[in-house]
Structure 1
Amino acid sequence: MKEMNSDRRKLLKGAVATSLASLAGNLSLEDAHAAKADPDLIHRENLKEGATDWQLTRVQLDKRAGFRSPKIEGYCSKQSVAAGDTIDIKVSTRPEQEFKIEIFRTGYYGGRGARLMKTIGPLQGKAQPVPKPGKKNLHECHWDSAVTLTIPDDWPSGVYLGRLSTLKDKTGYGYWQSYVVFIVKDDRPADILFQCSDNTWQAYNKWPSNYSVYTHPKGNQGPWADVSFDRPYAKYAQIYENPQSIGSGEWLCFEFPFAYWLEKHGYDVTYCSNSDMVTPDHGLKCKSFLSVGHDEYWDIKQYESVVKMRDAGVNLLFFSGNSVCWVTPLLDSTDGRPKRIMFRGGPYGGKYKYAEDRERDNGPFPFRGPDEGYLMGSRNVDPVNGGGDWVCELPDHWIFENTGMKKGDSIPGLIGWEYHGDPPKDIPGLEVVAKGTALQGGVNPQQWTATIYPGPKDNFVFNASTIFWCQDLASPPGHMLPWSHWSRPHGPDERVQQITHNIMRRAIS
């Protein structure tokens, strides 16, 4: 009877799939997209009960100024995965001991910030080897899998954290924690495609002991170092100390507040990794594309995909800084898995002076990219880091509706720690909506510009010109406000929230 029921379910499933395929064949592309859309998905998801315990409670580095957490650490076999597919979670424990994995989806969830999706374990841990440096200082782990996870069909797109916890010893103490992170993607035609900046997370990842694209003996700005996604994410190691970052890349630091805010307000959003955008047409189903936080490292195929999106009528929204700065080829792992190794291939910028200076000072580079200003509306400049206030320039522009802002009004500390400036003069219809000066602790002034320009199909491209934008949208659990160059954002600001609503509502209308 069980076999008959199983065969019947397979037959029905096949018949439904055939029927849907036949239906899709008679629909226009637009109608077929609409048939797959579920604009209420994220709203329904966030009505579910959030977790009261999902953050890291006890973390331990290998030394006071270290980067890794050898008591328990891990990584995932893919940056992103679709429902129905599998992902391997690789874990090392020192000493060998049992552990568990709790999988959380980050979101709003009534203000709690995450929902528990699955608990795995107890599992037996073992100490896995730290790889010896390979060619171009590559540190690539070949760890055994602790578990192979099949993503359930009902897990919506989002950024997922796997909390690794050693089990308590007989005294009730002695447990240690860290995260692994992965993205669940889909091909749903959502209003908003949120691109995570995980290429940049990996570029700055110093696991196990100060190895990143910035730490090669030849210098910190050349093409000399390769880095692998097949290794744990170390503690974030750039502008401030954040123990919650161990194993989670830069997600909780510079992107999660934006996702939390979008999901709080029921926006129809789907998520992807930088590497997903290498695939042509990945974002063409969505109305808007978001670059958030520190989005510095782009494969040239990713750039070409986003240009295609703009030209097809998708709205591009750069709520980020230092974006599209380095051409970052994504290479196969040494065992042949795609898009698992990256390096700094060369600067974007075309013939722009900043790119020419980088080539002269740090090259020769094997690749060069076009002038990113003609995509984003504003460019990477030198110096590119510092801090300042975000100052209104065009108060009558629609992005400032209902903010009450006047020309010269400023939002304190919102610029930083990197930004964009010097917009191309020949983009038709480009407007500078905000501008001002950034300083490196009171010295080295540089002019930044926030811009907007019309696309070819009644769409638009917005550039907020700061990594810190999301810091003034929300302050969710698990997030810490950053500071850098003696400047800092102040946290949720009603004006930033209203500007973002204005832009998002126009982008998805």
Structure 2
Amino acid sequence: MTTPNRSTPNRREVIKSVSAISAMGALSSSVMADDRDAAAAGEAAGQSAPSLIREENAKPGSRDWQLTRVRLDSRDSVRAAKIEGYCSRQSVAAGESIDIMVSTDPAQEYVIEIFRTGYYGGRGARLMTKLGPFDGIVQPTPRRGEKRLRECTWAPAVTLTIPDDWPSGVYLGRLTTTTDSTGFGYWQNYVVFIVRDDRPADILLQCSDNTWQAYNQWPDNDSVYTHPQGNQGPWADVSFDRPYGMYPQIFENPQTIGSGEWLCFEFPLAYWLEKHGYDVTYCSNSDMLTPDRGLKCKTFISNGHDEYWDIRQYHSVVQLRDAGVSLMFLSGNSVCWVSPFRASAHGRDNRILFRGGPYGGDHKWAELREQQHGPFPHRGPDEGYLMGSRNVEPVNGGGDWVCASPDHWIFEGTGMKQDEAIPGLIGWEYHGDPPSDIAGLEIVGTGTALQGGVNPQTWTSTIYPGPHGNFVFNASTIWWCQGLASPPGHWLPWSHWSRPHGPDDRVQQITHNLLRRAIGKGG
């Protein structure tokens, strides 16, 4: 392990600090304490803890967890080098350690506040601990390596051991300078990581962090889309060992600096699930290379913009379906590109990926991709036979989500009628062209999306039965979760002259219907 800088506390000090903050944030009620102890005992025995999320969200949220002062290096940059950082792992379990790497330019003092994102009475996050202050140092910008790889080898600022009482969730570390040589005060940025667990749960929510990294352009126009040979080939590698720059597509949201696409497209779902007390646990794309985690849950959710999957993820999720786990693709452009992982320069597994080739099998979409961009080293199966609907050409655009089967059980309680539209919910990418030979497949929504306001494409939302009373639902839009909630730190996106309108009671009711059927509480 790289030695921390001179002001970094040792591991014993970090654990003591984290434990103290966790104790301060605990509920005082002895009844709630007894419930937590019972839940912990249940987890240790491999049992579910269905009240865990309700208990966690009963704790006080933070009024101040968002980024307030951010500064990009230039108007055309995605980088905020005043302070920036990254984590040594995509996900970490309680009792395990994660390194947080930080650079400040110029060198200056800073602190790190760790927040868990959730509902928390509408505040959206809870402070878990505060670390520092630390003496910042300027860490080197890596040169472009083979396949334009940018891989940082920064010294860690701190090694954080995750306390046993930190629930699974998506965690943001807010980096804040305490001094600034320009005289303009402090600057901020995020780091992001997932805390996972291994307990049985009703819902496993997969974050789309492979896609966050594929689009990440840090430090200087460096992503899988920015190679001089073109933006769709297998030519560029990207590493998780680097900060997240500001999200570079469709809208400029300063809250995305350092946080990937979590606050863009995915947080509204987590916020809504936790608001309603659903028993949810979280994982990264890299946690789904085997089916083990998902087999302990009743439903698996693909969330937001879930484009890049290692082939092992695909086979894992097929096994979940075949074992009776319901699948919900509340996402768009999903399972689109085979993205093989490899280890980092430090030997850490699953830290580098690239666009290895299209999913699609012999489907015309995959063939078109290879005709346009040349041969790829990998080809994946036809994702339509997993999701019920495929990636199509063009895959991006905007439109309304239109009801095609109002008598279907997913619409119970919505009052929706044939051809009734939910404005702007299709975007910014979607699915279509469902396979015709999946037994029991039903089209529950369909309509037209327009690319750039002109090029039409048919999108299709589907559902089909699994082999054990389970089902596979495909919402066919990245923006489905925009119809569930609009939490703090989240901005409504827009693209292709179309935009979602925000929370909609019909989207909420459809999602309740799906989840209650999936976890055995309705239908």
TM-score band, normalised by shorter chain: over 0.9
- Which residue number corresponds to residue 287 of structure 1? 298
Pick one of 62, 71, 78 that aligns with 1:60.
71
Residue 450 of structure 1: SS of its match in structure 2? strand
Aligned residues: 479
- Which residue number corresponds to residue 97 of structure 2? 86
1:181 aligns with 2:166: no
- Which residue number corresponds to residue 109 of structure 2? 98
Alignment of 1:114-153 (within 5 A): 114-153=125-164
Alignment of 1:242-257 (within 5 A): 242-257=253-268
The answer as to whether partners of 1:165 and 1:176 remain within 8 angstroms in 2 is: yes
Cα offset for 1:496?
0.5
1:37 aligns with 2:48: yes
1:165 aligns with 2:176: yes
Do the aligned partners of residues 33 and 321 (structure 1) sit closer, same or farther apart at CA in structure 2, a change above 3 Å counting? farther
Report the Cα distance in structure 2 between the residues aligned to 1:171 and 1:422, rounded to whole angstroms.
Answer: 56
- Which residue number corresponds to residue 457 of structure 2? 446
After superposition, the C-alpha distances for 1:430-485 in whole angstroms (9 at most, x for unaligned) are 00000000002331100000000000111000000000000110010000000000
Report the Cα distance in structure 2 between the residues aligned to 1:211 and 1:170, rounded to whole angstroms.
Answer: 29
The answer as to whether partners of 1:34 and 1:189 remain within 8 angstroms in 2 is: no
Alignment of 1:187-202 (within 5 A): 187-202=198-213
- Which residue number corresponds to residue 372 of structure 2? 361
Residue 131 of structure 1: SS of its match in structure 2? coil
Residue 482 of structure 2: SS of its match in structure 1? helix
Residue 99 of structure 1: SS of its match in structure 2? strand
The answer as to whether partners of 2:46 and 2:199 remain within 8 angstroms in 1 is: no
Report the Cα distance in structure 2 between the residues aligned to 1:450 and 1:121, rounded to whole angstroms.
Answer: 48
Residue 375 of structure 1: SS of its match in structure 2? helix
Cα offset for 1:251?
0.1
The answer as to whether partners of 1:33 and 1:285 remain within 8 angstroms in 2 is: no
Cα offset for 1:428?
0.1
Corresponding letter in the other structure for 1:422: D
Corresponding letter in the other structure for 1:335: H
After superposition, the C-alpha distances for 1:199-252 in whole angstroms (9 at most, x for unaligned) are 000000000010000011111100000000000000000111100000000000
Do the aligned partners of residues 269 and 311 (structure 1) sit closer, same or farther apart at CA in structure 2, a change above 3 Å counting? same
- Which residue number corresponds to residue 29 of structure 2? none
After superposition, the C-alpha distances for 1:474-502 in whole angstroms (9 at most, x for unaligned) are 01000000000000000000100000100
Which stretch shows the higher mean deviation, 359-368 or 409-418?
Answer: 359-368
1:234 aligns with 2:245: yes
Report the Cα distance in structure 1 between the residues aligned to 2:230 and 2:460, rounded to whole angstroms.
Answer: 30
Cα offset for 1:35?
4.5
Corresponding letter in the other structure for 1:149: L
Report the Cα distance in structure 1 between the residues aligned to 2:395 and 2:221, rounded to whole angstroms.
Answer: 23
Cα offset for 1:280?
3.6
Corresponding letter in the other structure for 2:56: E
The answer as to whether partners of 2:43 and 2:49 remain within 8 angstroms in 1 is: no
Report the Cα distance in structure 2 between the residues aligned to 1:492 and 1:441, rounded to whole angstroms.
Answer: 25
Do the aligned partners of residues 389 and 119 (structure 1) sit closer, same or farther apart at CA in structure 2, a change above 3 Å counting? same
Corresponding letter in the other structure for 2:493: P
Using structure 1 for the length normalisation, give the TM-score: 0.93
Residue 317 of structure 2: SS of its match in structure 1? helix
The answer as to whether partners of 2:171 and 2:193 remain within 8 angstroms in 1 is: yes
Report the Cα distance in structure 2 between the residues aligned to 1:138 and 1:317, rounded to whole angstroms.
Answer: 33
Report the Cα distance in structure 1 between the residues aligned to 2:321 and 2:504, rounded to whole angstroms.
Answer: 29
Q: CA RMSD for the aligned pairs?
A: 1.3
Corresponding letter in the other structure for 2:449: A
Report the Cα distance in structure 1 between the residues aligned to 2:408 and 2:107, rounded to whole angstroms.
Answer: 60
Residue 287 of structure 1: SS of its match in structure 2? strand
Do the aligned partners of residues 373 and 94 (structure 1) sit closer, same or farther apart at CA in structure 2, a change above 3 Å counting? same
Unaligned residue ranges in structure 2 (runs of 5+): 1-41
After superposition, the C-alpha distances for 1:121-166 in whole angstroms (9 at most, x for unaligned) are 1001000000000010000000000000000000000000000000
1:203 aligns with 2:210: no
The answer as to whether partners of 1:430 and 1:453 remain within 8 angstroms in 2 is: yes
Cα offset for 1:173?
4.2
Corresponding letter in the other structure for 1:319: L
1:498 aligns with 2:478: no
1:109 aligns with 2:120: yes
Alignment of 1:290-309 (within 5 A): 290-309=301-320
Report the Cα distance in structure 1 between the residues aligned to 2:137 and 2:44, rounded to whole angstroms.
Answer: 46
Unaligned residue ranges in structure 1 (runs of 5+): 1-30
Cα offset for 1:336?
1.1
1:477 aligns with 2:488: yes
Report the Cα distance in structure 1 between the residues aligned to 2:181 and 2:73, rounded to whole angstroms.
Answer: 23
1:313 aligns with 2:345: no
The answer as to whether partners of 2:108 and 2:179 remain within 8 angstroms in 1 is: no
Report the Cα distance in structure 1 between the residues aligned to 2:481 and 2:217, rounded to whole angstroms.
Answer: 25
Report the Cα distance in structure 1 between the residues aligned to 2:493 and 2:218, rounded to whole angstroms.
Answer: 21
Pick one of 397, 407, 414 that aligns with 1:396.
407
Report the Cα distance in structure 2 between the residues aligned to 1:310 and 1:408, rounded to whole angstroms.
Answer: 30
Corresponding letter in the other structure for 1:74: G
Do the aligned partners of residues 70 and 35 (structure 1) sit closer, same or farther apart at CA in structure 2, a change above 3 Å counting? closer
Residue 317 of structure 1: SS of its match in structure 2? strand
Residue 170 of structure 2: SS of its match in structure 1? strand
Residue 302 of structure 1: SS of its match in structure 2? helix
Report the Cα distance in structure 1 between the residues aligned to 2:168 and 2:44, rounded to whole angstroms.
Answer: 17
The answer as to whether partners of 1:100 and 1:121 remain within 8 angstroms in 2 is: yes
1:464 aligns with 2:475: yes
Cα offset for 1:34?
7.7
Cα offset for 1:172?
7.8
Report the Cα distance in structure 2 between the residues aligned to 1:436 and 1:117, rounded to whole angstroms.
Answer: 44
Report the Cα distance in structure 1 between the residues aligned to 2:166 and 2:471, rounded to whole angstroms.
Answer: 32
Cα offset for 1:360?
1.5
Do the aligned partners of residues 34 and 286 (structure 1) sit closer, same or farther apart at CA in structure 2, a change above 3 Å counting? farther
Using structure 2 for the length normalisation, give the TM-score: 0.90
Cα offset for 1:282?
2.1
The answer as to whether partners of 2:291 and 2:320 remain within 8 angstroms in 1 is: no
